[in-house]
Structure 1
Amino acid sequence: MEPTSGTALGSHRSVVFVALVTAVLLAAGCSASSGDQASSSGADAGSGAQAPRAGDGQLGSAVDAAAGPAAEAAAAEREVVTTGTATVVAADPPDAAARIATLTEEAGGRVELREERRATDGAPASAHLTLRLPADTVNRTLDALRGLGEVADVSLTKEDVTATGRDLDARIAALETSTARLMELMAKAADTADLLRVEKELSTRQADLDALKAQRADLSDRVAMSTLDVHVVADQGAVAALAPPATGFRGGLEAGWHALTATLRVAAVTFGALLPWLLLAGLVLVVWRGAVFLVRRRRTIEPAVPADGA
């Protein structure tokens, strides 16, 4: 009877251990959901707090005065990814590219891509650089580019990724809590089966946590370091080639015209390739028709041979 009691006790412990593991996983999921709901509720509450009621002038002024520092703090915590492009016309593009690289390093940034093309018979010299700059130095860098030549085109785009960053932070916090609890349960595992079960779940959670941390690190890097593509050309003619395609009616008209000219060029090349064969086929046809004509004419001219005894 004693072995039976020991087996039952071991089974009971395993059941309790599995229940604890399940509770940890459910708690992690609820924590992530609660974090998302809290973010949404906080945003809704902030929107409601900014709506003043008619007739409450003094109260509205007091609320605005109190909300001013909070609004400034919220604006400072916002995460924005800045990307842009610029085209610089310079007499010596390779030299301008070297000076742009120096300006980038002095601003605390780095050059991720640098391409230089020397002048050829068919194309002028040019250069292309991809810069990673601290977010607060982008405008100063653009102003510095004007000292290297004529800045023909500039385009800056700002994307607010605050919600994405907060979502990643909430999911990372939930997974860290879940991982810590699973490690505690692994230390208390009663047998090998329970230990293997917890280790499997822990490895899955740790992989998810590492992936989320990598995403958060990449997002933080794009927020802190803006991306700027700079094209350096030698003349204004090359600027038009770098310009984005037109849109709307003009874009459709240009696309149709290019398609028509391309079709005509293909048709001309095809006709030129077939023309020698067509001439040869025509010559063969003329010779054949002439031979047939001569044979038929000879048959009609020859006199009929009289039969014997006529």
Structure 2
Amino acid sequence: MRRMILASTAVATALLLAGCSAGGSSSSQSGGVPSADGQRVEPALPGGPGTSEGGVAADGSTESLTDTDQSVITTGWITITVDDPALATDDAVALVESLDGRIDSRTQQAGSDQQQASAQLTIRVPADSVDKAVDGLRELGDVESVSISASDVTLQVRDLDAQISALQASVDRLLDLVGSAATTADLIELETAISDRQGQLDSLKSQKQYLSDQIDYSTITLDLRQKGALPSAVPGDFWSGLAAGWASLGAAASGLLVLVGVLIPWLLPLAVLAAIALLIVALVRRSSRRPHPAGPSGPAHPEPAPAPATAPSAEPAPPAEPAPATAPTEAHSTPNDPPRPDTL
């Protein structure tokens, strides 16, 4: 009996303790956070009053993830054919000014025989007025092509904001330490660190400013072209052919004059080198034609030596036989020839 009483008492005590712990935990969870005056402030539940979409407080203490907080850069390109590009340019400028925009660049080209008149404008309009700008530009002429693109740079903007906040806090802490610097070395080190971080902070602020301008004002490139085809360059009658021929003759003459002007500086040194070469050739030919003088020892061509006389034979020659008698003939002899014995 005593054991049953003790067991029931223990069970009741355990149940009582469990109920107290459950009541304390529920009160601590629903009781909120104690304030300075001892009262508890009930936290705002997600989706209830005092919150915005995504469970973020509406007082702006935390950045919202709604579509209105997205950072988007919008760019576009529009090509339009018009009758008069200059007049269409003026109309486009008036449209942009009515939308509180601006013109960053403006280029116009007059028409000629080789190209048509054209104009190109870089338009900056507020991001919420892009549709109005495109609709107004369509009325300038015939639209050939339209291209609009959007780039989300929300993460880049938040990263820049975080870096700027961290660097600004660091610079502020360093500025507070300047007054408590004990030595000159510490002061110089602090000033160097402040200058370095201030330069980084200014660079980040410049990037943020440029990015904000790209987000706030969309960029649209407008290309205006004149309608119609280029005039034909082929002459259509005798007079146009004559004019074309005369123009080509003048162009050829001017080109020849330009060629002569280019060659004159080269012709002068080439002429000097040619004159020197001709002078050398003339000197070589003159030296080859000059006769060689005779030597002092005698004539240039020596006379042949006389043949040696033969020794007389030891035996007497046989007597000559008498010549046969012939009729006397008239002797033909030269004055220098000796008289023959048979004619005496």
Task: Note the C-alpha offset of 1:128.
Answer: 0.2
1:70 aligned to 2:54? yes
Deviation (angstroms), 1:65: 9.8
Task: Report the AA paired with residue 203 of structure 2.
Answer: A
Residue 297 (structure 1) aligns with: none
Among 105, 112, 123, which residue is 1:113 paired with? 105
Task: Name 1:190's counterpart in structure 2.
Answer: 182
Cα deviation code 1:100-136 (max 9, x no counterpart): 0111111011001001111111111100000111001
Matches within 5 A, 1:38-187: 69-70=53-54, 74-187=66-179
- Residue matched to 1:203: 195
Say if 1:86 and 1:151, in contact at 8 Å, map to a contact too: yes
Q: In 1, Cα distance between the equivalents of 2:155 and 2:229? A: 43
1:228 paired with 2:228, answer no
Q: How far 1:236 moved relative to its partner? A: 6.8
Q: Deviations over 1:140-166 (max 9, x none)?
A: 111111221111110011000000000
For 1:104, the aligned partner's letter is V
Measure, in 1, the Cα distance between the counterparts of 2:183 and 2:199. Answer: 25
Contact 1:89/1:236, CA 8 A, preserved across alignment: no
- Residue type of the partner of 1:177? A
The amino acid of 1:228's aligned partner reads I
Q: Deviations over 1:206-236 (max 9, x none)?
A: 0000000000000000000000000000127
- Report the structure number with the largest CA radius of gyration: 2
Using CA pairs under 8 Å that are at least 6 residues apart, name the structure with larger relative contact order, 1 or 2.
1
SS state of the match for residue 195, structure 1? helix
Offset, 1:69: 3.2
Aligned residues: 177
Structure 2 SS opposite 1:69: coil
Amino acid at match of 1:167: D
Question: 1:206 & 1:154 partners in 2: Cα distance?
Answer: 44
**Cα 1:222–1:168 shift into 2, 3 Å:** same
Give 2:83's aligned amino acid: A
Residue pair 2:81, 2:141 contacting (<8 A) in 1 also = yes
AA at the equivalent of 1:82: T
Distance 1:178 1:237, change over 3 A: farther
Q: RMSD across aligned C-alpha pairs, in angstroms?
A: 2.4
Gaps of 5+ in 1: 1-62, 239-310
* Aligned-pair CA distance for 1:68: 8.2
Instruction: State the TM-score, normalizing by the size of structure 1.
Output: 0.54
Note if contact 2:54-2:65 (Cα within 8 Å) is conserved in structure 1. Answer: yes
Higher helix share goes to which structure?
Answer: 1
Distance 1:73 1:166, change over 3 A: closer
Native 8 Å contact 2:120 2:221 kept in 1: yes
SS where residue 113 of structure 2 aligns?
coil
Q: Percent identity?
A: 38
Q: Distance in 2 between matches of 1:195 and 1:207?
A: 18
Q: 1:181 to 1:219 in 2, by over 3 A?
A: same
Q: Which runs of 4+ in 1 moved over 2 A?
A: 63-73, 235-238
Equivalent residue number for residue 38 of structure 1: none
1:70 CA drift (Å): 3.5
CA distance in 2, matches of 1:108, 1:156: 20
Change (3 A) 1:88 1:182: same
Q: Is the 8 A contact 2:77 2:147 kept in 1?
A: yes
